[in-house]
Structure 1
């Protein structure tokens, strides 16, 4: 190698040089063949002789050179006839193939232009490319997809629906067809048809995230929790384990609410147990179980269950099953135990203060209500209870009025709120009545990080549905 070139480097001729070299080799071989042919004729001319052919009374006398030359000419004529016949026979097919190839190339080019137009939001340009795409590529999935997407861009829902329906009938495009139908039906508000399309799409690709999410949302909004669970069983592996368990618990508790509303607490209790089997810390299910046990006449079991979970989940919903004594002092003693069990949680302080108020233990009531007042979670309720103490103990109506005024400016009481939009509800709901989010109902106050509304990004028509 020349000096300065790294080891292992080589210089190869450029493509034009290689092409020129091949042409020169072909020319050289042709010249050699011609030279050999001329040499053969010269040799025959220098060695004359006679060739006689006798056949069926005929006799032909000729020279070897003429016989060989004539045979060569006849062979050329025969070859030419065969070539001409083959060319005439194959010509139309070759022309048709060339024409189809040209149309296919034009179709591919038009498809590229159409997809670029879609990505730019240029619906007229996308539609202008569709005819060329069909001429070049036929009724293929890509052509149907381009038609459907261009129609969606202009909200031509019937055309989009038909194109996606045709696409769903082709094996290689069935999933895209059903997913496109899902998008069209949701855009037009036909949730029942959208759910059917989601089922068909998930049957083809069970763990496709967008299809799974859509089917879960649609089934929940339709109240079809059996279909919701079926979707989870098919594609739940695509979800994080915690989310999958939470969704299973939501579906089970939704069934429990339905059974309870229908007056069947036994079936509701079974569904609540299913919810807790999926998520043992699911607060709405924990609160529902003692209520259902009581409805079944199992009050003592309800109390034991509430006592077991009060320490980790000091929620006022447990109190009716914990403060069960027949007199005010008895309920105060029970509330003292709750305060110790919950490690002086504000809800426990408030419960004890309210129990003291009912028992007319004014000093104890003020002490525990002041402790509850210091926590934003219970401040408003504690101020209202302190106003009752001021009214009842000393008839200090001015102080009571001031405490009630302070309560109006205190943080709002905790309620069930949607974690997606922040809407409050009187009880836990499996589906938010405002935004339709599934399983987002949480206990808390406005402004809690867990229930701050989640911004929803604006979406534009995607290239793929």
Structure 2
């Protein structure tokens, strides 16, 4: 619409300029006299301007005729392609000009102009693999998805443009949310060019979302072979896929296969917390407590986590709180100054009713790194030590406004997840969840509903309900869940 208005305004301006110029020349005196063959021609300024314009047009026509005449002469001299070459050069020149304009318009973001010029180039040039590709991209930019899809389908029929056509259709299906068709297209594109980085990433994501873990691991291997992934990243992501495959096997009640897959995932990436937890539980189910403890200690040394402590508690589920404190020393002696380690020790001691030592284990953590969890532990310690109810409520009030502490956070979009998953629920990125403290927030910590289990006396109804009713569903549990 805007382009049509601009062309109309330019046309009006040109007509107005010619009219004003003609009127000006008519008002001027003098002129030109041309004498030729005994004849004289007197021309006014306007007539002279018109004559010059006609002369230029005639000269241009003469040059064109001379070109055609030269082609005819060459044809008569035996060059059978002289005439066709003459006219094809003109068409090719026009087509290349239109193609250049289309490429420039496409790069500038002018989809409609690019589509128009690409269509023109297609009429002049016998290069469908080039012009059709520009037409498809221009139509896509202009919002004409129907024409873009039709053109991409034409490109798929030609061997040279098959990959480009499939990728174009793949982008359209992804934009439309048709992941099933997109997966099939990505597989075809991968067969044609298995070293293409973007195709590898898209295929891996789609395979992971559809739980095709075996196919995803093959794609990941192709990324390693093509140099798209460093070896350490490949090893980590392969472990994530193996872990996800193990989780699916567990859902299918195939215990032996799940155990083997979980152990394989932990072997490939010992620092992957969910893999360590699943492998440890697999060893526990097989009656191999020593291997389970070793796996958990190794993961704890890299990153202390409540799930590791919960799995460590499952090794001996029926022990007394005092026995558990003693057995857990094999774990808590590894990263003694880590906040998670200090809170775990405090939780174990609270369960064993050793409140003084529990307070000493927390140290200055509630003051320097306050979280809902350690402030709740302080409330439990205060109650266990016989502090006034106002002190207990004070700790609980602070816990309400304190941050939750480390959680599973997507490195790509910042989405917080209640538990680890291989694919972010928000941005669908693969292997982007990290156990870290998210941006400051005032939400309740996981496990606060367990406060009555951490103290000896039954709390009054007014003490805890406000804390419990605002707890978010599905939050992570502290390690005491296994020891209660």
TM-score, normalized by the shorter chain, greater than 0.5:
yes
What is the number of residues matched between the two proteins?
364
Shift of 1:446: 0.7
Residue in structure 2 matching 1:436, options 420, 424, 428: 428
Shift of 1:209: 1.6
Residue 388 of structure 1: SS of its match in structure 2?
helix
What residue in structure 2 maps to residue 224 of structure 1?
212
For residues 108-147 of structure 1, the C-alpha deviation after alignment (integer angstroms, 9 at most, x for no partner) is: 1111111111112222322222333122222521111111
Distance 2:223 2:188 in 1: 13
Q: Report if aligned partners of 1:335, 1:348 keep a CA contact under 8 Å in 2.
A: no
Distance 2:355 2:80 in 1: 108
Q: Report if aligned partners of 2:75, 2:82 keep a CA contact under 8 Å in 1.
A: no
Are the structure 2 counterparts of residues 368 and 86 from structure 1 closer, same or farther at C-alpha, using a change threshold of 3 Å?
closer
Shift of 1:91: 7.1
Are the structure 2 counterparts of residues 315 and 364 from structure 1 closer, same or farther at C-alpha, using a change threshold of 3 Å?
same
Structure-to-structure mapping, 1:80-91, within 5 angstroms: 87-88=75-76
Residue 421 of structure 1: SS of its match in structure 2?
coil
What residue in structure 2 maps to residue 165 of structure 1?
153
For residues 363-408 of structure 1, the C-alpha deviation after alignment (integer angstroms, 9 at most, x for no partner) is: 11221133543563x7432221121122233152110000111222
| Gaps in structure 1 of 5+ consecutive residues | 1-83, 449-465
Residue in structure 2 matching 1:331, options 300, 315, 324: 324
Shift of 1:94: 2.3
What residue in structure 2 maps to residue 246 of structure 1?
236
Structure-to-structure mapping, 1:304-319, within 5 angstroms: 304-319=294-309
What residue in structure 2 maps to residue 140 of structure 1?
128
Q: Report if aligned partners of 1:322, 1:334 keep a CA contact under 8 Å in 2.
A: no
Are the structure 2 counterparts of residues 109 and 352 from structure 1 closer, same or farther at C-alpha, using a change threshold of 3 Å?
same
Structure-to-structure mapping, 1:241-390, within 5 angstroms: 241-323=231-313, 324=316, 326-374=319-367, 376=369, 379-390=371-382
TM-score normalised by L of structure 2: 0.69
Q: Report if aligned partners of 2:336, 2:342 keep a CA contact under 8 Å in 1.
A: no
TM-score normalised by L of structure 1: 0.72
Q: Superposition RMSD on alpha carbons, in Å?
A: 2.5
Q: Report if aligned partners of 2:112, 2:142 keep a CA contact under 8 Å in 1.
A: no
What residue in structure 2 maps to residue 100 of structure 1?
88
Residue in structure 1 matching 2:185, options 197, 203, 219: 197
Are residues 1:206 and 2:194 paired? yes
Residue in structure 2 matching 1:400, options 382, 392, 416: 392
Shift of 1:235: 3.1
Are the structure 2 counterparts of residues 267 and 88 from structure 1 closer, same or farther at C-alpha, using a change threshold of 3 Å?
same
Shift of 1:330: 1.2
Residue in structure 1 matching 2:411, options 419, 424, 442: 419
For residues 337-374 of structure 1, the C-alpha deviation after alignment (integer angstroms, 9 at most, x for no partner) is: 43322233222221221122122112112211335435
Q: Report if aligned partners of 1:266, 1:296 keep a CA contact under 8 Å in 2.
A: no
Shift of 1:86: 8.8
Larger Rg over CA atoms: 1
